[in-house]
Structure 1
Amino acid sequence: MKCPICGNENIEENDNFCKECGNKLKEECNCWLKKDSYNCKESSCPGYGFYRKMKEETIRKDLKTAKPTNH
């Protein structure tokens, strides 16, 4: 495989992004955060920002489904 942006040929079959320029090589990546195939629609890995977004969504969901407690 060859990166269409920088021409790097040092790309392995399992690589989601080019190691030289960071270009996204696949529409759906084997996402290291979700541990599954996922299309984040980003051109490069959003990394920690994506992790924070997922955590915020989980917290909002948990707050919506949480039952009120009497203290």
Structure 2
Amino acid sequence: MDSDRLPVGRRVAYWRGRRRMSQQVFADRLGKSKNWVDKVERVELVARPLPPARNRLPIAVSPAGRPGRG
């Protein structure tokens, strides 16, 4: 899957799914509601940048800012 061509919300859903993480768990880790995550993933809501989530999410981020193996 070429996730770079997808809208940001769809990429979030893709990588969250790869980690087998529910929307609720992801929302809890971000300090947001499940409804917020759902709207972002369906591209109904444009998410404002959050503080770096590197320490809160089990997703490694490469220096280029792309998800890696973690």
TM-score (norm 1): 0.24
User: Which has the larger Rg?
Assistant: 1
TM-score (norm 2): 0.24
* Higher helix proportion (structure 1 or 2): 2
